[in-house]
């Protein structure tokens, strides 16, 4: 069960023998401000360093040349398609799951060479900043599926199925997509270092726990079947397992 940012900060303060923290607002003191900074630094570094299954999301893009499409870039806006949550692709390929096809990446130089080959029946993609460009142009309403890591690690639960995501922790009531115990351990270590204290023991505990979690919280184990012989396999031959997560 996810716990709030405030409870994470309270756990860290208790472990460090700091005064009890009852709320987080714009007027919080220097200790709370440092704790919040250490917490956000920990979460940001964890998000950058590893693809956590908790931040995994799926997007299905229907290439109609209009929705999320930028005519100037001749491509689809990844931020618009993912409600400004796109950080990076989690897999090496994009997919057309309906037709059991992989869409591989193309380098810019190769794209220039192949722009004239409009009769190709297979497609590749190139990412240019926040835009997704396909070579050759996809047929109308061609389905493209991809997994990506969210740029956010904080959220609030509006209803059973609806969440609002935030780029960081700021007011105390946000929940964390990342493991709370891992955040607590990392924040303790960073706070001790920022205070000029020896944090070697806390950092070792944090790193050991992080390594243990990474083996169980990687999305690759769940989605690796997408990279297994998708090209040329008929629908009758390819059996997809029951999804572990609901997106």
- At 188 the pLDDT is 98
Average pLDDT over residues 39-48: 96
pLDDT band of residue 194 (cuts 50, 70, 90) is very high
DSSP 90: S
| Tens-digit pLDDT profile for residues 174-190 | 999 999 999 999 999 99
Strands (E), the chain: 56-63, 69-70, 75-77, 86-89, 94-96, 101-105, 124-128, 131-135, 142-150, 154-157, 163-166, 175-176
Q: pLDDT category, 12, cuts 50, 70, 90?
A: very high
Across residues 14-35, what is the average pLDDT? 86
CB-based contact 103:147 (threshold 8 Å): no
CB within 8 A of 231, min separation 6: which ones?
101, 102
Q: Do residues 90 and 173 make contact, with C-beta atoms less than 8 angstroms apart?
A: no
- Least trusted range by pLDDT, from 45-59, 124-138, 149-163, 220-234: 220-234
What was the pLDDT predicted at 180?
A: 96
Instruction: Specify the higher pLDDT residue, 223 or 13.
Output: 13
Beta bridge partners of 128: 131
| Closest among 196, 158, 150 to 174, alpha carbons compared | 158
Q: Rounded to an integer, what distance in angstroms lies between the CA atom of residue 247 and that of residue 244?
A: 10
Flag whether pLDDT at 240 surpasses 60.
no
Of 177, 183, 126, residue with least CA distance to 153: 177
| Per-position b or e across 173-188, b if 16+ CB within 10 A of its CB | ebbbbbbbebbbbbbb
Q: Per-residue pLDDT tens for 98-146?
A: 888 889 888 765 665 566 555 455 788 999 999 999 988 899 999 999 9
Q: How far apart are CA 231 and CA 99, in angstroms?
A: 9
What is the pLDDT of the chain when averaged over all its residues?
84
pLDDT over 50 (residue 216): yes
Supply the pLDDT for residue 221.
Answer: 54
For residue 49, which of 57, 41, 61, 60 has the smallest C-alpha distance? Answer: 41
Residues 6+ away with beta carbon under 8 Å from 169: 5, 8, 36, 39, 40, 43, 154, 176
Half-sphere exposure (Cβ direction) of 189: Cα atoms closer than 13 Å = 20
* pLDDT (average), residues 205-225: 80
Closest CA to 226 of 244, 245, 246, 241: 241
CA distances from 84 to 42, 77, 79, 164, 237 (A): 22, 10, 4, 12, 36
Q: Kindly report the pTM of this predicted structure.
A: 0.81
Contacts of 235 (CB under 8 A, 6+ apart): 100
Which tokens go with 42? Answer: 């920990």
pLDDT at 236 over 70: no
* pLDDT of 237 strictly over 60: no
């Amino acid at each position: 069960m996810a716990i709030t940012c405030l409870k994470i900060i309270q756990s860290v303060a208790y472990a460090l023998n700091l005064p009890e923290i009852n709320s987080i607002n714009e007027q919080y003191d220097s200790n709370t401000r440092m704790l919040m900074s250490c917490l956000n630094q920990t979460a940001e570094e964890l998000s950058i360093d590893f693809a956590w299954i908790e931040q995994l999301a799926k997007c299905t893009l229907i290439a109609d040349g209009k929705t999320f499409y930028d005519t100037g870039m001749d491509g689809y806006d990844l931020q618009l398609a993912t409600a400004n949550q796109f950080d990076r692709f989690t897999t090496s390929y994009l997919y057309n799951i309906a037709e059991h096809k992989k869409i591989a990446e193309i380098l810019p130089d190769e794209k220039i060479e192949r722009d004239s080959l409009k009769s190709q029946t297979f497609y590749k993609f190139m990412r240019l900043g926040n835009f997704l460009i396909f070579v050759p142009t996809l047929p109308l309403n061609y389905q493209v599926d991809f997994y990506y890591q969210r740029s956010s690690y904080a959220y609030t639960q509006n209803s059973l199925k609806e969440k609002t995501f935030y780029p960081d922790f700021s007011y105390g009531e946000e929940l964390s997509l990342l493991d709370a115990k891992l955040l607590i351990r990392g924040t303790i270590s960073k706070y001790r270092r920022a205070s000029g204290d020896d944090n070697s023991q806390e950092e070792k505990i944090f790193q050991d726990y992080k390594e243990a979690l990474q083996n169980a919280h990687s999305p690759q184990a769940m989605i690796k079947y997408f990279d297994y012989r998708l090209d040329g396999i008929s629908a009758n031959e390819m059996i997809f397992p029951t999804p572990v997560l609901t997106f």
